[in-house]
């Protein structure tokens, strides 16, 4: 698979799945713009991309603010002069059930997990259409395909991302823009470790508990999800649009 010369905007690109995706895209020849809140981590990812010979750009952004979405796309195009790929990866979770979720927690998850992908995709689709086509990949979750106790709002937002993917794929098909989603299961990231602590586990005990629930008995790696994203963004997936790809070690299948 090659992304030679193509430009990708990847949200949440300073850590976890987003970082792994940025590095993998860079290895395969893409120019990469990443967003995040931490400038130091952003600079480190840019340097790592550049070490692979790829041009890279960090754009500081807090995606709870919908006003930043259109400028992110505009700044990417201003810097690289084009845009062919968008990866909506940034996400946030609060470990809280229906009765425990505060208004602030609910609206924050909706803003980052649903509103930002919609607004960014809308802006990116206009630019990608002008380039003759491309791809949008949304990072949803296995929790958008199944329920889970104590994480109600997150499940709801990731289910919304899946439906956004399907509907947008139909809308943009005539523009030669493919829109697909990856649904990761339990992936060893800082966000997962934080979720374990929020639920009252130690990180070690929490990960051990999760491993027992996964049919293949291990936690996934960010690089494994990055490879799924790479496939859907590349021309190798030229007949895939509206697809929902589970990468969860068999969790949803069970």
Q: Which residues are part of the catalytic machinery?
A: 154
DSSP 111: I
Joined tokens for residue 236: 């190798």
- State the Cα–Cα distance between residues 250 and 254, nearest whole angstrom: 6
d(CA 75, CA 241): 27
Compute how many other C-beta atoms are within 10 angstroms of the C-beta atom of residue 250: 12
Buried b vs exposed e over 7-35: b needs ≥16 C-beta within 10 Å? bbbbbbbbbbbbbbbbbbbbbbebbbbbb
CA 145 to chain centroid: 16
**DSSP code at position 252:** T
DSSP per-residue string spanning 4-52: TT-EEEETTTTSHHHHHHHHHHHHTT-EEEEEES-HHHHHHHHHHHHHT
Sequence-distant (6+) residues with CB within 8 A of 248 are 142, 183, 184, 185, 186, 214, 220
- 10 Å Cβ neighbour count for 99? 6
Residue 7 backbone dihedrals phi, psi, to 5 degrees: -115, 130
């Amino acid at each position: 698979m090659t992304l030679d010369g193509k430009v990708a905007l990847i949200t949440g690109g300073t850590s976890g799945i987003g970082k792994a995706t940025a590095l993998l895209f860079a290895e395969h020849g893409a120019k990469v713009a990443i967003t995040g809140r931490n400038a130091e981590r952003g600079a480190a990812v840019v340097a790592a991309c550049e070490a692979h010979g790829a041009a890279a750009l960090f754009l500081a952004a807090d995606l709870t603010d919908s006003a930043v979405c259109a400028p992110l796309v505009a700044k990417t195009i201003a810097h690289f002069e084009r845009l062919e790929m968008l990866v909506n990866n940034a996400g946030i979770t609060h470990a809280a059930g229906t009765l425990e979720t505060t208004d602030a927690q609910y609206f924050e998850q909706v803003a980052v997990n649903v509103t930002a992908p919609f607004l960014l995709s809308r802006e990116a689709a206009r630019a990608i259409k002008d380039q003759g086509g491309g791809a949008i990949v949304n990072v949803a979750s296995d929790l958008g395909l199944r329920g889970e106790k104590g994480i109600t709002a997150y499940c709801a937002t990731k289910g919304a991302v899946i439906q956004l993917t399907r509907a947008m794929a139909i809308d943009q098909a005539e523009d030669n823009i493919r829109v697909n989603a990856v649904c990761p299961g339990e992936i060893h990231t800082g966000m997962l470790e934080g979720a374990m602590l929020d639920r009252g586990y130690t990180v070690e005990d929490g990960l051990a508990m999760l491993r027992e629930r996964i049919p293949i008995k291990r936690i996934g790696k960010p690089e494994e999800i990055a490879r799924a994203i790479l496939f859907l963004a590349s021309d190798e997936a030229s007949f895939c649009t509206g697809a929902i790809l589970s990468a969860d070690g068999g969790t949803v299948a069970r």
